[in-house]
Structure 1
Amino acid sequence: MELRHLRYFAAVAAEGSLSRAAERLHLTQPSLSRQIRQLERDIGTPLLERTTYGTALTPAGAALHRHALLLLRLADAAPDMARSAVGQSREVAHIGVPPGMPDGWLLDVLAALEVGVPRAAVALTEASSTEQLRMLREGHLDLAMVHEQPQARFRAERLFDVPFGVAVRPGHPLADGTTCRVRDLDGLRVLAHGRQQVPVVDDRLVVAAHDAGAVLLWQFAQFTEHARACAQAVKADAVLLVRHSARRLLPDWPWLPLTAPELALTTWLAWPPETRTVVGDVARVISAHPGADIGEAG
């Protein structure tokens, strides 16, 4: 996905018409249509509905449109930010993020940091929770966003909880439901992240299945982008994921929230108790950023 694709998409959304957007962008309509199709291929889902009156956003298109406008605003502001930084000193804050963190929430946090801590230059590093905590101990990270409660040696804030669910293989009997009890997975092959990525899987979920009297044929794997290939490799009936990851990685597999018991993936923010002032200020802004709607993110 390139920034120009988002500019073209935003223009079509604003005009409600490919032809009017093409005229505004000084492109031919076939050329603009190709660019939009390329963006839809990159995203993996239709973004526009063609109608007799022009174009309308699909639900996925509406969700992308909100984030596209934020990205474009940040991109347009970048030159002014660079010029304003001349002669000013900015301190780098190295922040770890786990794979699969919702892009919308991260972009909102970055925007909040630009306003709340303008002297901070943020550098993000994607790594598993285990790897992040090691890097934090060794001083390679200033802050870590992790899926396990940090040790007492660190300061920590609970950011948000996201409900777990299962993405069910299309055509499976469970795919017609609206929720999934843990005992409904009895005898099924369930793909889940390995302990190094999401420690809660090996602990609470396995215990919950045992308490429910269900024998799940657990298939553990390390994956961030290739959930479909991993599921196919082990012939999984279902894949354990939070909703936004399921929609991104397996958009055609129905996702059902887990119930009886309900289980959630918790994200924590951790940082050393003795640190630079700018790191503490960054931690304060991130900790105050709401994450209540993440469970509904697409």
Structure 2
Amino acid sequence: MELRHLRYFVAVAEEGSLTVAAEKRLHTAQPSLSRQIRDLEYEVGVPLLTRSVHGVELTAGGRAFLDHARLALTQAEAAAEAARRATQPAKQVFAVGFTTGQEVDWLPRATGLLRGELAKIEIRVSSDHSAALASELGQGKLDIAFLRAEQNPDIALKVIAKEPLVAILPSDHKLADRKSVDVRDFVGETYIGISKVPRVLRGVIADYLKRRKLEITPSFEIDNYAMAISLVASTRGVALLPASARHFLPWSVVSRPLRGEAPTIDVAIGYHKANTSQVLKTFLSRIDELTAER
């Protein structure tokens, strides 16, 4: 029994016709196909098809054989593909991390810098809060990360953009009707603050409120966009978040720019100083294109 016998049998079973299978699927003569099917039935030892003027139908044995024939063909193709992959050199992995929300703006630009390398490498993308990305850079799990200005002596940083903070509000909140929001209007509202985990963002917001001579006690403290937006929607609270949070807003939550000079938080490229990846060197040599395009 050969794989071609199985392919012929499956084609006939699926088409329900020797003629159609021969002409449209297998591109062979019908008499030749009939001989192949007879040889297969002889090998199996039972009839697999019944023939009539209306075409062919599977016997009980044919129905049982069909599932196994399909599986055998699938396994044979998988074996061939595995053999082909084994003879190809493994692609170098280039791992890129993004502070949650940044991938929407920066992933297309990042891959654009490596357009000449894409056929030779495998890019792996992940997202997390900035402190976690800094830790993964330090452990060698990431080659580069789009993150905040985390303090780590082993990580080199290059600031590529300054992202403004915006007010996040329920869509039917009284402040949502305004074109811009004065942070002083947050006083007396349910305020969703930032936990100690996103320490850079927490520091930027604390410094902003201090400069505005405001003390606002958070009702909740969160460490990610999803939780902040969920609490804004469910508690009818307000929050200050980087503008990239707008990519995640449902219909029930809106963003508004802050009145006056809005605080900004740095978006930086980070990489381990000891990383000798040639792909990383190529990326860094073209990094000015990120800021120029921005």
TM-score by length of structure 2 reads: 0.60
Please state if 1:201 is matched with 2:201: yes
Who is 2:214 aligned against?
A: 214
Which letter maps to 2:217?
A: L
Q: Confirm or deny: 8 A CA contact 1:95 1:141 kept in the other structure.
A: yes
Who is 2:177 aligned against?
A: 176
Matches within 5 A, 1:207-246: 207-218=207-218, 219-233=220-234, 235-246=235-246
Who is 1:266 aligned against?
A: 266
- Structure 2: distance between partners of 1:113 and 1:264: 28
Q: Confirm or deny: 8 A CA contact 1:145 1:270 kept in the other structure.
A: yes
Please state if 1:161 is matched with 2:162: yes
- Structure 1: distance between partners of 2:230 and 2:159: 33
1:263 Cα offset (Å)? 0.8
- Structure 1: distance between partners of 2:243 and 2:292: 14
- Structure 1: distance between partners of 2:223 and 2:236: 15
- Structure 1: distance between partners of 2:89 and 2:292: 32
- Secondary structure, counterpart of 1:145 in structure 2: strand
* Inter-CA distance 158–132: structure 2 relative to 1 (3 Å threshold): same
Who is 1:280 aligned against?
A: 281
Matches within 5 A, 1:27-106: 90-106=91-107
- Structure 1: distance between partners of 2:155 and 2:180: 37
1:122 Cα offset (Å)? 1.6
- Structure 1: distance between partners of 2:195 and 2:273: 30
Who is 1:250 aligned against?
A: 250
1:151 Cα offset (Å)? 2.9
Identity %: 15
Q: Confirm or deny: 8 A CA contact 2:162 2:267 kept in the other structure.
A: yes
Deviation string, structure 1 residues 259-296 (Cα, Å, up to 9, x no partner) = 44421122111112232222221233345324875xxx
Q: Confirm or deny: 8 A CA contact 1:97 1:144 kept in the other structure.
A: yes
In the alignment, structure 1 segments of 5+ residues that lack a partner are 1-82, 294-298
Q: Confirm or deny: 8 A CA contact 1:149 1:268 kept in the other structure.
A: no
* Inter-CA distance 243–284: structure 2 relative to 1 (3 Å threshold): same
- Structure 2: distance between partners of 1:282 and 1:167: 34
Who is 1:26 aligned against?
A: none
Who is 2:189 aligned against?
A: 188
Please state if 1:121 is matched with 2:122: yes
Q: Confirm or deny: 8 A CA contact 1:113 1:282 kept in the other structure.
A: yes
Who is 1:7 aligned against?
A: none
Q: Confirm or deny: 8 A CA contact 1:183 1:213 kept in the other structure.
A: no
In the alignment, structure 2 segments of 5+ residues that lack a partner are 1-83
Deviation string, structure 1 residues 136-192 (Cα, Å, up to 9, x no partner) = 222222222212244343222112111111122233322121122322322222224
Q: Confirm or deny: 8 A CA contact 1:191 1:236 kept in the other structure.
A: no
* Inter-CA distance 179–280: structure 2 relative to 1 (3 Å threshold): same
Q: Confirm or deny: 8 A CA contact 1:187 1:217 kept in the other structure.
A: no
Who is 1:130 aligned against?
A: 131
- Structure 1: distance between partners of 2:88 and 2:288: 30
Q: Confirm or deny: 8 A CA contact 2:233 2:252 kept in the other structure.
A: no
1:135 Cα offset (Å)? 1.6
Deviation string, structure 1 residues 99-141 (Cα, Å, up to 9, x no partner) = 1124243123223312366533221222221111112222222
- Structure 2: distance between partners of 1:186 and 1:261: 19
CA RMSD across the alignment: 2.9
- Structure 2: distance between partners of 1:105 and 1:273: 22
* Inter-CA distance 291–103: structure 2 relative to 1 (3 Å threshold): farther
Who is 2:108 aligned against?
A: 107
Which letter maps to 1:141?
A: L
- Structure 1: distance between partners of 2:238 and 2:194: 12
- Secondary structure, counterpart of 1:115 in structure 2: coil
Q: Confirm or deny: 8 A CA contact 2:140 2:272 kept in the other structure.
A: no
* Inter-CA distance 279–228: structure 2 relative to 1 (3 Å threshold): closer
- Structure 2: distance between partners of 1:150 and 1:286: 21
Q: Confirm or deny: 8 A CA contact 1:194 1:201 kept in the other structure.
A: no
